[in-house]
Structure 1
Amino acid sequence: MWLRAGVPEDTQRLLAIQRAASLAAYGHIFPAEQYPFPDQQVLAESWAMLTDPACQVLVGVGDGSTAVGFVTRQADLISRLYVDPAYWRRGYGARLLAAAVDGARADGHRTARLWVLADNRNARSLYERHGWRIDGRTGTAGFPPYPTEIGYQLELAEDTVAAGNEDPVTTVDAATPPTSRSSDDRSAG
């Protein structure tokens, strides 16, 4: 996988990735027959993120130049880490997370923060494997039935090395894909 900066033309693909990942991962939290996926709201939010200079959107690209996942970051807050379910368990989520953490560290932040649904066990496991810890914050998600979210935090001290970040992620200009790389990393994501 290689990374590139998100551009407004990615809006529809990011919506498709978020919808597919949400339906696969959150069905027990947001049963589709009761809580249809909020396409228009997510589409508008995706566009806003992709056009906001304060928001960094990194798009993970698999073989064949297909966008397979993305993560967003504003200052020290990492959000919207989604990977198309067809690409789960290949390390894409871990690599996107590591790239966002590296961006926060490079911008001089001493900690990184994120929110996760309390019942999203796969995501929580991913974060905890990479050194994230519950920080005591709680809230509610912005979609019915308004499930509980919990806050996580990661210390970004200069001498801290992100666990599981042995394989550096290549970030390139969107117009020039790098040589294809495959991975045997089967971590969640």
Structure 2
Amino acid sequence: MDLHLRLASRADAEEVARVYVASWNEGFGHLMVPRVLDAEQVGRWSRDLDAGPTRWWLAQSGESVVGFAGTGASRDPIDPALGELDTIAVAPSAWRRGVGRRLMDRALDDLRESGYQEGILWTLAHYERGRTFYEATGWRASGEVRDAGRQIGFRRSLIPVSGGRVD
């Protein structure tokens, strides 16, 4: 798959919303209420892509956005050394084609370049596909929970060890 990564802008809101809704519904629509692609959803993404402080990375194949990831400071818990992978989503038609891995690599690089020592992400407690992906990309369940146990935390070090590798 010919893939190009770039920063998102407000103009990408409709494409990002499309990927978000499709990924949500296919990935964990069985665990949560399905999302609808409508003006409200596009408006939400328009605000999020424009507002900061999260930096949003897009994966684009040809003219189509096929995935995105957001990075920034941890919102929960607040810790200046802790960066957060806010959201990572890939269009179901692009699953298992390396898009998620490329976005994850870009997100981790961005967190490191921003000076964070460690990363955190939150996912649904029973989302096995996500858990498998996060563990395959170096994240480990941290034992943290929120939202009455519906979400679990994963963490990983962002500090390079010998040879420039990050464990």
TM-score normalised by length of structure 2: 0.83
CA contact (8 A) 2:157 2:166 kept: no
Q: Which SS does the other structure have where 1:47 is aligned?
A: helix
Over 3 Å counting, the alpha-carbon distance change for 1:2 and 1:129 in structure 2 is same
Partner of 1:56: 55
Give the structure with the larger strand fraction: 2
Over 3 Å counting, the alpha-carbon distance change for 1:20 and 1:162 in structure 2 is farther
Deviation digits for residues 98-137 of structure 1 (CA, Å, limit 9, x no counterpart): 1111100011110011001111111111110111011121
Deviation digits for residues 115-169 of structure 1 (CA, Å, limit 9, x no counterpart): 01111111111110111011121112xxxxx871100101011226357xxxxxx
Partner of 1:21: 23
CA contact (8 A) 1:55 1:72 kept: yes
Give the gaps of 5 or more residues in structure 1.
141-145, 164-189
Give the gaps of 5 or more residues in structure 2.
74-82
Deviation digits for residues 42-79 of structure 1 (CA, Å, limit 9, x no counterpart): 434312221124210000011x2311000011121112
Distance 1:5 1:157 in 2: 24
Distance 1:138 1:40 in 2: 32
Distance 2:15 2:157 in 1: 32
CA contact (8 A) 1:133 1:153 kept: yes
Q: 1:5 aligns with which of 4, 7, 17?
A: 7
The answer to whether the aligner puts 1:80 opposite 2:80 as a matched pair is no
Aligned residues: 153
Amino acid of the structure 1 residue aligned with 2:133: L
The answer to whether the aligner puts 1:111 opposite 2:110 as a matched pair is no
CA contact (8 A) 2:160 2:166 kept: no
Distance 2:165 2:128 in 1: 24
CA contact (8 A) 1:130 1:162 kept: no
Query: Identity of paired residues, percent?
Result: 27
Partner of 1:45: 44
Aligned pairs for 1:1-189 within 5 A: 1-30=3-32, 35-37=33-35, 39=38, 42-62=41-61, 64-75=62-73, 76-140=83-147, 148-159=150-161, 161-162=165-166
CA RMSD of superposed structures (Å): 1.9
User: How far did residue 37 of structure 1 move?
Assistant: 1.4
Q: Which SS does the other structure have where 1:23 is aligned?
A: helix
Q: Which SS does the other structure have where 1:69 is aligned?
A: strand
Distance 1:72 1:123 in 2: 16
TM-score normalised by length of structure 1: 0.74
Amino acid of the structure 1 residue aligned with 2:67: G
Distance 1:139 1:40 in 2: 29
For CA contacts below 8 A with separation 6 or more, give which structure has more relative contact order.
Answer: 1
